[in-house]
Amino acid sequence: MRICRTSSEMQQACRELKKNTVPERGLGFVPTMGALHAGHLSLIALARAECDVVVASIFVNPRQFAAGEDFAVYPREFEEDCRKLESAGVEILFAPAPDDMYPSGATTFVEVEGIGNRLDGASRPGHFRGVATVVAKLFNIVGPDRAYFGQKDAAQVAVLRAMVRDLNFPVNLVACPTVREEDGLAMSSRNRYLSADERRRALILSRTLEAAQHLVKTEVRGAQVLRDALPEALAADPLLQIDYVAVVDPGTLEPIENIDNGALIAIAAWFGKTRLIDNVVIEPVAQRANPDLSQAPARELSHA
Ligand code: PAF
């Protein structure tokens, strides 16, 4: 695996690589901040299956962390990450230094108005401005045909889809299913911040979402019922602090009243100093499989 440390070297290397790809399969790109886990590797596996060549990036992007957030302590495991990427079949890794990505005097930002200020954008002001700016730069440097992102960051996917549409990036953005630990916890580089007790308590997120899915399968169609029931269920852990519970349109991230046309049910919550997010996407009624209640999970939410 070749490692490029500067934007100009990466741009040149990707141009050369693309010359040898079949246009329909093209170049796949997986941007990351490193500390790679099975979720990242699933993005690379899908990119490998769908594209001729796959390139990745590792860059802990300072512009998407607000003051006081975990930028300084964000896990950095470059050697180990390189081993994982190489055995996953990545051809080129882009690993720039911050001053290559943001030389002094770099004052241009990409701001996805409206949608960029919803969900995590509301809780972490400036976060999606930093994400959209770095991803736009990475797209310009790599020139991918397809780019792969985890659905766990559902709001990020929605913001980047809007950016790709609004700025005419010739990229197909692929959202990949959330990868979970055996007990249901969504994989995240931040899970390693959790103490053993917080790790155990964090299961309430996936269990609450699973129960919400069960409600949708059996009876509930109004979003407000879910908006009321989820915080009640999360209150079973009195130490957890809810950041948001959202039932929104998956494309616009705006609150919805009825989930018949599909919905994103998303939770962000604090376990001590660690903020975790998780979500499920509810398909529009017409696309939902016929619910087989004998197979449905037994857990239930209390709801009005
Ligand atoms: O999802 C992430 O890891 C980051 O937000 C991304 C897309 C690599 C941009 O820094």
Please indicate, yes or no, whether residues 121 and 223 belong to a single structural domain of this protein. no
Determine whether the shortest distance from the Cβ of 32 to ligand 1 is under 6 A.
Answer: yes
- H/E segment holding residue 248: strand 241-248
Q: Which of 29, 32, 57, 59 to mutate to test the pocket of ligand 1 (most atoms within 8 A of CB)?
A: 32
User: Following DSSP, what letter does each residue of 41-91 receive, concatenated?
Assistant: HHHHHHHHHH-SEEEEEE---GGGS-TTSSTTTS---HHHHHHHHHHHT-S
Contact 63, 89 (CB under 8 A): no
- Whether 104 maps to a domain, the answer reads yes
Q: Could you give the percent of the chain with pLDDT greater than 70?
A: 95
* Rounded distance between C-alpha atoms, residue 262 and residue 154, angstroms: 14
The protein residue whose alpha carbon is closest to atom 6 in ligand 1 is 32
Kindly give, in sequence order, each residue whose CB lies less than 8 Å from that of residue 218, ignoring residues fewer than 6 positions away. Answer: 291, 293, 296
pLDDT of residue 167: 98
Average pLDDT, the chain: 94
Contact 266, 122 (CB under 8 A): no
For residue 216, give its domain range. 189-287
pLDDT, one tens digit per residue, over 199-249 is 999 999 999 999 999 999 887 789 999 999 999 999 999 999 999 999 999
pLDDT, one tens digit per residue, over 77-115 is 999 999 999 999 999 999 999 999 999 999 999 999 999
**How many residues make up the chain in this entry?**
304
Give strand pairing partners of 276.
269
Determine whether the shortest distance from the Cβ of 120 to ligand 1 is under 6 A.
Answer: no
* Rounded distance between C-alpha atoms, residue 178 and residue 280, angstroms: 9
pLDDT of residue 286: 83
Contact 102, 6 (CB under 8 A): no
Please indicate, yes or no, whether residues 76 and 164 belong to a single structural domain of this protein. yes
pLDDT of residue 301: 53
We report the CATH number of the domain holding residue 245 as 3.30.1300.10
Q: Is residue 303 scored above 50 in pLDDT?
A: no
Q: Which of 63, 70, 94, 135 to mutate to test the pocket of ligand 1 (most atoms within 8 A of CB)?
A: 135
Please indicate, yes or no, whether residues 264 and 129 belong to a single structural domain of this protein. no
Count: domains in the chain:
2
Contact 246, 237 (CB under 8 A): no
Instruction: Assess whether 214 carries a catalytic annotation.
Output: no
* Rounded distance between C-alpha atoms, residue 68 and residue 103, angstroms: 23
Please indicate, yes or no, whether residues 156 and 214 belong to a single structural domain of this protein. no
CA of 133 to the centre of ligand 1 (A): 11
CA of 31 to the centre of ligand 1 (A): 6
Pairing type for strands 27-32 and 53-58 reads: parallel
Task: Write down the catalytic residue from 37, 40, 127, 214.
Answer: 40
Q: Is residue 3 scored above 70 in pLDDT?
A: yes
- Whether 242 maps to a domain, the answer reads yes
Taking the CA atoms of the chain, what radius of gyration do you get in angstroms?
A: 20
Question: CA of 151: how far to CAs of 74, 83, 175, 265, in Å?
Answer: 21, 25, 5, 12
- Whether 224 maps to a domain, the answer reads yes
Contact 57, 142 (CB under 8 A): yes
Determine whether the shortest distance from the Cβ of 33 to ligand 1 is under 6 A.
Answer: yes
Please indicate, yes or no, whether residues 17 and 44 belong to a single structural domain of this protein. yes
Q: Which is nearest to 144 in space by CA: 122, 121, 172, 124?
A: 172
Please indicate, yes or no, whether residues 203 and 157 belong to a single structural domain of this protein. no
* Rounded distance between C-alpha atoms, residue 84 and residue 91, angstroms: 12
We report the CATH number of the domain holding residue 43 as 3.40.50.620
- Whether 195 maps to a domain, the answer reads yes
Longest dimension (CA), the chain: 61
Please indicate, yes or no, whether residues 138 and 30 belong to a single structural domain of this protein. yes
Please indicate, yes or no, whether residues 25 and 135 belong to a single structural domain of this protein. yes
Please indicate, yes or no, whether residues 22 and 150 belong to a single structural domain of this protein. yes
pTM of the model: 0.94
Q: Which of 29, 30, 33, 149 to mutate to test the pocket of ligand 1 (most atoms within 8 A of CB)?
A: 33
Determine whether the shortest distance from the Cβ of 135 to ligand 1 is under 6 A.
Answer: yes
